[in-house]
Amino acid sequence: MIYITQGKRGSIGIEALFKAILVLPKSCLEDLILVIKIEDIIHELQLLHIPYNIAGDALEIHNGRITLLPPKFFEHSETLNSLLTALSLIQECDFLFTLPSSKDQFHFRNTHHRGYTDFFRSYFHINDVSMTFKGQDFDLLLLTDHIPLREVPNAIKADLFGKVEVCLRGCLKYFNSYEDVIILGLNPHAGENGRIGIEELSFSAFLKPLVQKFPQISFVGPLAADSLFLSGFKSKKKTLLISPYHDQGLPIFKSLRMFHSAQITFGLPFLRLSVVHGTAEDIYGKNLADPTSILYGLETIFTSNYGLHFNRTSARA
């Protein structure tokens, strides 16, 4: 099943979700479980003028029925109340799709988390949870994510490359193996052999265990990010780019395929996906939300190895 959790109230998440749902075939709707407050669902459907009927735990719209699961937690933000409900039920054979939220929604157990990924690392006690972005031209893995730029050089250490292995194994499990992995340099010109910066000098040593574990993959880099983007996207191979920090690879990725992409979290007991955009509260209620990223993410689930071939009934037995 696909558990879809509520993002931040007053954002475009639910609007974009229902715009996406309206174009899905009936067979896909049967796999969805909406972990969203019923009153918020009704409010959005009325804003969008979508005819509906709620019968017990099912939402009926013109193209099918969707299972409803109201959040069972009430003491946290709407994002966490929904998310914790899904986490209490989700199994390895299921998928989690989270709607966009904001950093102020993730205060849990006296700790403020920097978004979904940081929360997952703490909740599951897994450091190597990776923030990966799946697109049509290439995929992007952030070696570091929501940390200040000044902390990035000291954060890039050998153990951080564990999330690269998590990403490669996750992709192999759900989507088949990458053919090329390209790591970008941290410094201008990838450090010029230590003349501009020394961080890149350790990258090859960090990558060496991965080269041995994944002989079918070609590992390249570190390469200068400024020139790579001129030619790197012309490759017809299945490519993963590794960006040392958040605002290095993401601006290029989003400018090329802002909505035709999805965020993926590897390393959890299940696969989690989300949109690549934020809450866009400035256009909430104006019927301007673009559902493309949600559609892309759901399509990614339905066409994954598990989505096509995994026998959920036997897995639950």
In whole angstroms, how far apart are CA 27 and each of 64, 97, 148? 8, 18, 44
For position 310, what pLDDT does the model report?
A: 40
For position 230, what pLDDT does the model report?
A: 60
Average pLDDT score, the chain: 87
Please give the chain's pLDDT, 317 residues, in tens: 999 999 999 999 999 999 999 999 888 899 999 999 999 999 999 999 999 999 999 999 988 899 999 999 999 999 999 999 999 999 999 999 999 999 999 999 999 998 999 999 999 999 889 889 998 878 999 988 888 888 888 888 766 788 899 999 999 999 988 899 998 888 778 767 778 877 877 887 888 889 999 999 999 888 888 877 665 455 567 889 999 888 888 888 887 776 789 999 999 999 999 998 889 999 999 999 999 999 999 999 998 887 644 444 333 33
Strand spans (E) along the chain: 2-5, 32-35, 53-55, 58-61, 64-68, 95-98, 107-108, 111-112, 130-135, 139-142, 180-184, 218-223, 239-243, 261-266, 271-274
Instruction: Please give the span between the terminal C-alpha atoms of the chain, in angstroms, as a whole number.
Output: 15
CATH code for residues 129-267: 3.40.718.10
Amino acid at 92: E
Strands 180-184 and 218-223: parallel
Instruction: Note the pLDDT tens digit of each residue in 130-165.
Output: 889 998 878 999 988 888 888 888 888 766 788 899
**Which residue ranges make up each domain of the chain?**
1-126+270-317, 129-267
Please give the structure tokens belonging to residue 316.
Answer: 């639950």
Instruction: Note the pLDDT tens digit of each residue in 262-317.
Output: 999 999 999 999 998 889 999 999 999 999 999 999 999 998 887 644 444 333 33
pTM (2 decimals)? 0.90
In whole angstroms, how far apart are CA 85 and each of 13, 70, 74, 230, 264? 18, 8, 10, 45, 20
Please give the structure tokens belonging to residue 52.
Answer: 């509906």
For position 120, what pLDDT does the model report?
A: 96
Largest Cα–Cα separation, the chain: 67
